[in-house]
Amino acid sequence: MDIDNPFFNIQSCSEVTVAHGRGPYQNTVWALKSIPLEAARGRRVLLKPNAGRVAQPCSGITTHPEVVAAAIDAFREAGADVAVGESPITGVKATEAFDATGIAAEAKKRNCPLIDMDVRPFIEMEIPDGRVLHKLQLCADVPEFDIIVSIPVMKMHMHTDVTLSVKNMKGCLWRRSKVKLHMLAPIEGSDEKPINVAIVDMASVLRPHLAIIDGTVGMEGLGPGAGEPKRLDCVVVGADGFAADAVACRLMGTRAEDVPHLRMGAERNLGVIDLNRINVSSENWQDWSCCFAKPPQNLSIKFPKITVWDNNSCSACQSTLLLFLKEFADRIFDYLPDKGHLDIAIGKGNTDLPEKTLCIGNCTAQCRQDKPYVPGCPPVASEILKKLTGHTTLEPRKQTEKE
Ligand code: SF4
């Protein structure tokens, strides 16, 4: 992969454009006018949206298909050879995610190739200055492109605070190798979470050449998979992914300096996050900001009768569990002998768990001898329900008059 970025030079590297109020397609078209796309003529361009999950457009989980459509059209018009690629979270097939998100339909209309980047064997990529990661297993398609465009959707994230263009590049890592970033041992002498340091290590060798951040409908709260949709109707574009992410952070009501992977990346000179050093070309852009609810530090705030013991789990387990709890947390207690409280563990290396903790996912297999256990990577919601209640589905709770 060509590390030189054709879209910025010393003068323009911290230019960011925000488009608002025109809908996803026109916002993207308008914002991309600020980028000299002619530099992509005759080159191979990989569009890397967030199509990591099976989710409907406008759910705030995946990139809006019209943003991807506009990017395909703009790069085609500039004379580039364009494809769209993804390696989704564990347990999801790229083809299913492309179909569900509406990205497949837009790509097919345009005869634009869709790449399931998990099909081919990985290639290894060294990280010369890595603190916790020293090599990556990269999807083999990625280095065959001259230009990588990260097209995330604006989301809060339970483990990394936000997930934007820098972190979205994790979807270029091959299959389950993504999970390794969540399984790293604590860093001796440092309070930083290993996942955040790992993202910075990844960004030291794998950064987008262009960020197109979809803020049509983002996600607040329990992101990346179980939060609430948040409509913003904007698109952020910039050649420095860190600068684009910093502007997106402000639009989401947070500060990039408070997001560890962005702060540490800027400290390592991988990009600029100081808004005083970023020229945002839309004058009143801060008027469009809209405070996204932060992810709760403790899930018991959201589910007061449940304690989740989460030790280095990955997004796939978190999403399965959170979606399960959103659906069933109000009803499962009717089936439990001890109706007062439920402990659930996910992730690797949980120790000293309360006696009857329900351990879910293969990463908790070491507890299977003396605790209820649901295997799977990721586990399946119906199996969790069966383990707890003996049923694979539950009737909706009847509403009382008061409700
Ligand atoms: S068991 Fe869960 S936390 Fe472990 S790798 Fe699989 S999905 Fe991730």
Whether the per-residue pLDDT at 395 is higher than 90: the answer is: no
Averaged confidence pLDDT in the chain: 92
Neighbours of 57 (CB within 10 A): 21
Whether the per-residue pLDDT at 1 is higher than 70: the answer is: no
Does the Cβ of 377 fall within 6 Å of ligand 1? yes
Mean pLDDT within 355-376: 93
Does the Cβ of 380 fall within 6 Å of ligand 1? no
Residues in the chain: 403
**Band of the pLDDT at 282, cuts 50, 70, 90?**
confident
According to the model, what pLDDT value does residue 394 have? 83
Residues contacting 119, CB < 8 A, separation 6+: none
All structural domains of the chain with their residue ranges: 15-288, 299-389
Segment among 77-91, 139-153, 306-320 with least mean pLDDT = 306-320
According to the model, what pLDDT value does residue 90 have? 87
Does the Cβ of 12 fall within 6 Å of ligand 1? no
| Cis peptide upstream of residue 378 (ω within 30 degrees of 0) | yes
Mean pLDDT within 92-114: 97
For residue 337, report the distance from its CA to the centre of ligand 1, in Å.
28
For residue 155, report the distance from its CA to the centre of ligand 1, in Å.
21
Question: Would you say the CATH fold of 299-389 matches that of 15-288?
Answer: yes
Neighbours of 30 (CB within 10 A): 19
Nearest protein Cα to ligand 1, atom 7? 378
Does the Cβ of 363 fall within 6 Å of ligand 1? yes
**Band of the pLDDT at 2, cuts 50, 70, 90?**
very low
For residue 313, report the distance from its CA to the centre of ligand 1, in Å.
6
Whether the per-residue pLDDT at 9 is higher than 70: the answer is: no
Does the Cβ of 179 fall within 6 Å of ligand 1? yes
Does the Cβ of 225 fall within 6 Å of ligand 1? no
Does the Cβ of 218 fall within 6 Å of ligand 1? no
For residue 131, report the distance from its CA to the centre of ligand 1, in Å.
23
Whether the per-residue pLDDT at 121 is higher than 90: the answer is: yes
Q: Report the predicted TM-score, pTM, of the whole model to 2 decimal places.
A: 0.89
Beta bridge partners of 116: 86
Q: Identify which has the larger pLDDT, 306 or 3.
A: 306
- pLDDT per position as a tens digit, 331-365: 898 888 777 889 999 998 888 999 999 999 999 99
The token pair at 306 is 């449940």
The token pair at 316 is 């796939």
Question: Among the CATH numbers 3.40.50.150, 3.40.50.12280, 3.30.2350.10, 3.30.70.1230, which is that of 299-389?
Answer: 3.40.50.12280
The token pair at 158 is 């339970």
Whether the per-residue pLDDT at 232 is higher than 90: the answer is: yes
Class (C level, CATH) for 15-288: alpha beta
For residue 347, report the distance from its CA to the centre of ligand 1, in Å.
6
According to the model, what pLDDT value does residue 398 have? 63
Mean pLDDT within 228-233: 96
